[in-house]
């Protein structure tokens, strides 16, 4: 027992020594910078000591992304997209060289708070970019609010992050779950569908995605006749598919992603329903999963803030550059990573590369008008993107652009107290 | 619900139950005969599916994937038994859980390096690709029906081997009293190795057969592992016939739970399990002392 205690004691001491050395390194810089820029107030006001580095020192970007598990590919593409933008700017953002800290969040919400604290308090990064999983992102949002750390969300769509939990220091470059689905309501109504069934998993993202659709569809004049759900991560759809066949709605709108999306699309086609009851979906249904879905996915129409073949110069340049650098076809996740860097660049440029000049940085980011590969991109009062949502159709294994479902879609940002 | 719909849902339930049985059969063999809790069963199921994808893509034949995948899994199972599992016989369950949990992590990493992390699908053999029209809107894939038949055949085969062959007799005797079997001059160590390898091969076989209807993706084994344990515990540990009954019970509960009580569909299976265990604490066909 004693030995054990002594051992732990030593370990703690070692940690403390390392901590002390780190602060030795940081403090002189901090002092010098305080003198140089006079930003004493800001630096002192922030709850945690931040590595306010001299102008020449690199900017520390913390990636908190899933590098393993189901969402590993998404995390990898967001990371690669971000780095691509930085490389295109000569390795700099706002004139400052960039270094990265990578942290695998494993898409585990229970570790979200600790991981985020590690980046912010121990690694002392200047900005955190993350993550994919909404549950983890919500934990990150809470820490970011408590510590006033700059956070850019490059994927997670939880409505609340730019709703009741919105904050000046939190931006999102992806979407809210509501956003890609609301325009689908009018699209399906205009296609002649009046009675529609929805199907998704019973979790927050599913409810929010289908909620956005229901709002748009009801507003257009249609009726959602049944809202089917099944628990996460179950993939036995047969009972619910049989239920759809008995209900005979005009069409079905759904939200699934990853392995579940592949299985649902294939099961739906195998049950022969695709012919009589057309399947629509939130764009995630057919993003990154088309190869595995194969012929079963042909003809499925989805809405998303991106299409593989968007015909604009920014997208063409982006896809070519991404392919050259990474060796794979870029997708929406890579675009979201790319735009996260672009947004940060706008803010840092306005602030002269100084992260501590927070008001300047944030007001520049709020006013950013980006020429994104996805089309024009700006931000609303809650820091959620205002962007086009496109109608796409699966053709020859690609999400081919059909039309703009709705231009400049702005999330209602319900519950957000920030003013414009 | 009209009669036709009921019939279709019943078919869904039975089909799901049979697939669950196929996955759980290997687990119940290893658990019941060797007394080893193999948490990595789901990981082998996943690896089987990925191997099937890889072999089917490389050779263009589902049958080669089926035979090759099972053969590879059998050999891997033999090696695993030799290197790791044999050290666990007679140890407490915690040691087994730790080792097999480590195996889950390792096998997942192996999958990542061998096959990547993409979602894949496997095409069923040509002559099973059609579907049968059941109602005006709904049809049923022939492959799903073929899977039902296949699962029944496997169940019969396992049952027959255990019941009527000499090796089956040795296995049953060994499960009862290992020392006595040894004392009679039978090398139970070798039998153990085969039993474990067969368990792993059955997990992989399930993954391969299910691959065309379930798609192949990382983490596909996790949910299956939990359901397999439900099936094994429900049926009575080590009882193959019990596993079949347990699997059908889970299939029926899940399917009709989703239809009639959608709000409870995530817990319906576990509620039924709790009730059955209150009634028979050792499972439906479980013996008193386990």
Over the stretch A186-215, which tens digit does the pLDDT of each residue have?
Answer: 999 999 999 999 999 988 889 999 999 999
Cβ-based contacts of A234 with chain B (< 8 Å): 223, 266
CATH number at residue A328: 3.40.50.2300
The reply to whether A299 and A316 lie within a common domain is: no
Q: Please list the residues that pair with A96 across neighbouring strands.
A: A93
Q: What is the pLDDT of residue A420?
A: 66
Residue B216: list chain A partners with CB under 8 A: 292
* Closest Cα in chain A to B253: A239
Residue B120 to residue A230, Cβ atoms within 8 A? no
Beta bridge pairs of residue A226: A197
Q: Is residue A61 part of a domain?
A: yes
| Number of domains present in the structure of chain A | 3
Residue A12 shares a structural domain with residue A68: no
| Cα A11-A112-A101 angle, rounded to 5 deg | 70
Q: What residues in B contact A70, CB-CB < 8 Å?
A: 117, 217-219
Q: Which residues of B touch A230 (CB under 8 A)?
A: 258, 265
CB atoms within 10 A of CB A403: 11
The confidence score (pLDDT) of residue A4 equals: 42
Residue A94: CA atoms inside 13 Å, Cβ hemisphere, count? 26
Structure tokens at A384: 């959620």
pLDDT digits (tens, 9 = 90+) for B19-52: 999 999 999 989 888 888 899 999 999 999 999 9
More confident call, A361 vs A231: A361
Q: Are both A163 and A193 inside the same structural domain?
A: no
Same domain, A91 and A132: yes
Choose among A202, A230, A262: nearest Cβ to B119: A262
| Residue among A259, A262, A270 whose CB faces B131 most closely | A270
Across the interface, whether the CB atoms of A245 and B138 are under 8 A apart is answered yes
Residue A57 burial (CB count, 10 A): 15
In this structure, the answer to whether residues A343 and A324 fall within a common structural domain is yes
Q: Do residues A10 and A157 both lie within one domain?
A: no
Chain B residues in contact with A237 by the CB 8 A cut-off are none
Does residue A267 belong to any structural domain of this protein?
yes
- Check CB contact under 8 Å for B9 and A73: no
* Strand pairing class (A150-153; A170-172): parallel
Asked if residue A376 is part of any domain, the answer here is: yes
Instruction: Tell me what the pLDDT averaged over chain A comes to.
Output: 87
Q: Please tell me the distance in Å from A191's CA to the nearest CA on chain B.
A: 20
Residues A164 and A258 placed together within one structural domain of the fold: no
**B92's tokens:** 């407490």
Q: Scanning every residue of chain A, which has its alpha carbon at the shortest distance from the alpha carbon of B144?
A: A270
Can you give the residue range of the structural domain that contains A355?
51-177+312-386
On chain A, the residues whose CB falls within 8 A of the CB of B259 are: 239, 242-243
**Domain segments of chain B as ranges:** 26-220
Q: Are residues A297 and A191 in the same domain?
A: yes
Q: What is the DSSP letter of A53?
A: -
Q: What is the CA radius of gyration of chain A?
A: 23
Q: Which ipTM did the prediction report?
A: 0.83
- Domain for residue A412, yes or no? no
Residues 6+ apart with CB under 8 A from B81: B192, B193, B196, B197
Rounded Cα–Cα distance for residues B133 and B135 (Å): 6
CA B129 from chain centre, in angstroms, equals: 24
Q: How many CB atoms lie within 10 A of CB B165?
A: 11
Q: Mutate which of A66, A77, A199, A236 to test chain B, going by most B C-beta atoms within 10 A?
A: A236
Taking 70 as the threshold, does the pLDDT of residue A102 lie above it? yes
A171 and A203 belong to one structural domain = no
Beta-strand ranges (E) seen in A26-174 are 59-65, 92-93, 96-104, 127-129, 150-153, 170-172
Q: Residue A62 falls within a domain, yes or no?
A: yes
Q: How many residues does chain A have?
A: 420
The answer as to whether A126 is a domain residue is yes
A271 and A173 assigned to the same domain: no
Q: Which of A235, A243, A294 sits opposite B259 (nearest CB)?
A: A243
Q: For A44-62, how does the pLDDT look when each residue is reduced to its tens digit (9 = 90+)? A: 444 444 444 445 689 999 9
**A112 in the same domain as A157:** yes
């Amino acid at each position: 027992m004693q030995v054990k205690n002594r051992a732990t004691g030593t370990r703690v001491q070692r940690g403390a020594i390392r901590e002390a050395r780190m602060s030795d390194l940081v403090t002189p810089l901090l002092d010098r910078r305080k003198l140089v820029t006079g930003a004493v107030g800001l630096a002192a006001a922030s709850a945690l000591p931040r590595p306010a580095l001299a102008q020449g020192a690199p900017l520390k970007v913390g990636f908190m992304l899933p590098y393993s598990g189901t969402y590993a590919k998404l995390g990898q593409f967001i990371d690669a997209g971000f780095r691509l933008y930085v490389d295109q700017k000569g390795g700099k953002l706002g004139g400052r060289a960039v270094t990265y800290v990578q942290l695998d969040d494993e898409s585990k919400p229970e570790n979200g708070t600790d991981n985020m604290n590690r980046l912010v308090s121990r690694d002392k990064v200047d900005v955190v970019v993350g993550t994919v999983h909404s549950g983890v992102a919500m934990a990150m949002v809470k820490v970011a609010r408590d510590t006033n750390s700059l956070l850019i969300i490059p994927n997670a769509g939880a409505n609340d992050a730019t709703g009741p939990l919105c904050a000046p220091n939190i931006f999102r470059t992806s979407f809210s779950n509501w956003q890609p689905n609301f325009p689908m309501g009018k699209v399906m109504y205009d296609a002649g569908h009046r009675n529609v069934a929805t199907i998704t998993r019973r979790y927050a993202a599913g409810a929010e995605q289908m909620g956005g659709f229901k709002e748009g569809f009801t507003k257009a004049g249609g009726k959602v006749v049944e809202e089917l759900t099944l628990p996460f991560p179950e993939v036995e759809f047969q009972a619910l598919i049989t239920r759809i066949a008995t209900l005979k709605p005009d069409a079905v709108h759904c939200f699934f992603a990853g392995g579940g999306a592949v299985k649902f699309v294939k099961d739906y086609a195998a049950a022969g329903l695709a012919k009589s009851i057309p399947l629509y979906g939130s764009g995630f249904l057919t993003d990154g999963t088309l190869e595995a879905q194969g012929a079963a996915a042909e003809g499925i129409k989805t809405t998303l803030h991106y299409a593989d073949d968007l015909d604009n110069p920014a997208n063409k340049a982006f896809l070519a550059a991404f392919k050259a650098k990474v060796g794979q076809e870029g997708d929406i996740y890579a675009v979201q990573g790319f735009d996260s860097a672009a947004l940060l660049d706008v803010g840092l440029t306005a602030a002269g590369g100084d992260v501590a000049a927070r008001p300047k940085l944030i007001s520049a980011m709020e006013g950013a008008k980006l020429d994104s590969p996805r089309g024009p991109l700006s931000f609303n009062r809650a820091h959620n993107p205002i962007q086009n949502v496109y109608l796409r159709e699966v053709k020859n294994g690609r999400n081919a652009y059909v039309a703009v479902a709705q231009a400049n879609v702005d999330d209602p940002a319900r519950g957000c107290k920030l003013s414009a | 619900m009209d009669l036709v719909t009921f019939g279709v849902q019943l078919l869904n339930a039975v089909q799901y139950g049979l697939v669950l049985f196929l996955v759980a059969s290997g687990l119940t063999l290893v658990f019941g005969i060797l007394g080893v809790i193999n948490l990595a069963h789901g990981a082998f199921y996943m690896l089987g599916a990925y191997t099937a994808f890889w072999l089917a893509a490389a050779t263009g034949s589902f049958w080669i994937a089926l035979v090759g995948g099972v053969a590879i899994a059998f050999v891997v199972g033999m090696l695993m038994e030799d290197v790791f599992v044999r050290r666990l016989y007679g140890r407490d369950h915690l040691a087994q859980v730790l080792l097999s949990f480590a195996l889950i992590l390792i096998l997942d990493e192996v999958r990542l390096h061998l096959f990547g992390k993409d979602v894949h699908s496997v095409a069923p053999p040509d002559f099973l690709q059609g579907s049968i029209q059941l109602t005006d809107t709904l049809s049923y894939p022939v492959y799903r029906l073929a899977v039902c038949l296949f699962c029944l055949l496997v169940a019969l085969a396992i049952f027959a081997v255990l019941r009527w062959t000499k090796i089956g007799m040795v296995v049953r005797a060994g499960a009862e009293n290992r020392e006595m079997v040894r004392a009679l001059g039978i090398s139970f160590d070798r039998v153990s190795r085969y039993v474990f390898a067969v368990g792993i091969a059955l997990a992989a076989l399930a993954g391969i057969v299910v691959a065309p209807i379930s798609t192949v993706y990382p983490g596909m084994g996790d949910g299956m592992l939990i359901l397999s344990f439900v099936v094994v515990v429900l049926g009575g540990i080590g009882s193959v016939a019990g596993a079949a009954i347990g699997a059908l019970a889970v299939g029926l509960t899940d399917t009709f739970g989703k239809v009639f009580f959608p709000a409870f569909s995530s817990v319906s299976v576990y509620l039924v399990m709790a009730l059955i265990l209150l009634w028979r604490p050792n499972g439906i066909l479980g013996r008193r002392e386990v």
